[in-house]
A and B are shown apart, each in its own frame.
Chain A
Amino acid sequence: MKNEAPGLAERLRRALVIAAVAAVVYVPGVVTLWMLLAGRA
């Protein structure tokens, strides 16, 4: 059976998933690094 390429909506959903996970995993680390560098931690 032929594998169909995902449509635009599905590609957008996947991009959103990747962005959301990356943001939740890395943004707190960036913010806390910022706090350290700003002398607020």
Chain B
Amino acid sequence: MGFWQIFSDLSWAVSVLMAVWMIYDTWRVQQEYDESFLMSSREGAEELSAKETDK
């Protein structure tokens, strides 16, 4: 088995490993955190809080 074939097979393997890691991490986060917290990001939130502080 030549270098390029090994490189090619390694590319598949590393790619699949990274995909599995990301899917696992996504699942883990979903288990550990409340969904409403994960989706609580608001556009312009900092600008809003700055304005509220000014008041």
Q: Are A and B a genuine interacting pair, yes or no?
A: no
**Interface set of B (CB-CB < 8 Å, partner A):** none
